[in-house]
Structure 1
Amino acid sequence: MPVIQRFAQCRLRINANDHPPPHFHVLLNDGREAWVSISDLRIVHGQVAVREIADALDWAKANQAMLATTFEELQR
């Protein structure tokens, strides 16, 4: 489960051999987690407000292609 990026309030990771659709996990420091779709950066699972992970979503938007490539590589 490689951590792709760290932020003050959370970290972003992509799991190997994970299920579709392509997504990443945002793990907050308080233990909560959100799954975010790479294609549209929408929270698809988790009890997390967008404002709580805004930094991670901004970073993900700027790095969307890399996230998609990384997800595909980790599924092999």
Structure 2
Amino acid sequence: MGKLIQIGNIIIRVYANDHLPPHFHIITPDADALVDIETLEILRGKLSRRSEAEALVWARANGNLIVDEWNRTNPRFPIVGKGTKS
């Protein structure tokens, strides 16, 4: 549930009923991080530079998809005015 994409060994995921602020997870075999959806700032965790760069390139290009998935799986805390379904 919530897996948006896998890029090599990098998984980008949004969990249902998650906490604020709105964020997504970047998961690799060796590390994971929480990333703010609006600013793309890493809130917690640490990734290799390469994994972080690859994931954030995808996130910048697919921000609407991430927002839509957050809103679908976290209806208590919607991100208003962004995404394709806002």
Same fold (TM over 0.5): yes
What is the rounded CA distance, in whole Å, between the counterparts of 2:60 and 2:40 in structure 1? Answer: 7
Paired positions, count: 75
Q: Give the TM-score, by structure 2 length.
A: 0.78
Q: Which structure 2 segments of 5+ residues have no match?
A: 76-86
Match of residue 53 from structure 1: 52
- Aligned identity (percent) is 35
Structure 1: gaps (5+ residues): none
CA shift digits 1:18-66 (9 cap, x unpaired)? 0111110000122x11001110111110022444321111011011112
Say what the alpha-carbon RMSD is for the aligned residues.
Answer: 1.4
Q: Greater RCO between the two (CA within 8 Å, min separation 6)?
A: 1
Report if the CA contact (8 A) 1:10-1:53 is conserved.
no
For normalisation by structure 1, the TM-score amounts to 0.87
Which structure: larger Rg?
Answer: 2
